[in-house]
Amino acid sequence: MPNPVIPWPGGKRRLIKHLYPHFPAHECYVEAFAGGAAALLMRPHPAPVEVINDINGELVRLYRCLRHHLDEFIRQFRWALVSREMFEWAQMERPETLTDIQRAARFYYLQKLAFGGKVHGQSFGYVASGSGPRLNLLRIEEELSTVHLRLARVIVEHGPWHEVVERYDRPATLHYLDPPYWETEGYGVDFPFSEYERMSDYMRVAKGKVVMSINDHPEIRKVFAGFTMIPLQTRYTIGREGRDSVAGELIIKSWDDSQATLI
């Protein structure tokens, strides 16, 4: 089973064990905010039809290159080093002057090594303890080959979340929504509160079933009132010293379990 490709703000690795038990049986799985794609890549069993989407073009380019041009992508790291200087050189490169594969490799390198997995305002990340840098250049082919195989039958979209969910909405569809968390930073996109209101409206009329993960916030609880909410306390590691922090999160469902067969 492949791991998430890159660190990403709000990554779902630690939420997965709480999230999957709430997935109902479905034929089509749609992830409208893919990010690091942890929820897709760490699924124990693929759905017959799977779709990932993100509004971030650099991220979508990376997934397409991993799916279609893995060998050439890996070749970009043949002489690479994990170093602060190379990280800063990559930051100074102008993405528009690079090929798609070079651009995807640059994005991957920066994202793997950026402190906190931030998309904007990046700085070179390191930890004072643990297993060292997140980018192991000796294992890059091994790690990405599993992702390449997993993405072989996945549809990769690039567009606004609402267009994608409407395009694939059927009674047998499961939509997983993992939007930027309210009043948090690091995603690199503007996400006004009206988007959560739009999600709430959509969840009330969707033909398929919708499950959402979001931070536990009074305003979020208010806008999604009436839906099934499962509160969680999730432990995350933050800071260069690897300190643990506990965050309140919600899993919100557009149905109750008496209406669905869980997978």
Positions at the binding site:
8, 12, 54, 178
Which residue's entry shows tokens 């043949």? 78
Identify the CA nearest to 84 among candidates 107, 115, 121, 50. 115
Contact indicator for 177, 12 with CB cutoff of 8 Å: no
Distances (CA, A) of 185 to 10, 121, 132, 178, 209: 10, 11, 25, 15, 28
Q: Residues marked as binding for S-adenosyl-L-methionine?
A: 8, 12, 54, 178
Distance CA 81, CA 47 (A): 38
What separation in angstroms does the CA of 34 have from each of 103, 139, 222?
Answer: 19, 24, 25
Q: How far is CA 144 from CA 14, 73, 141, 151, in A?
A: 21, 10, 5, 10
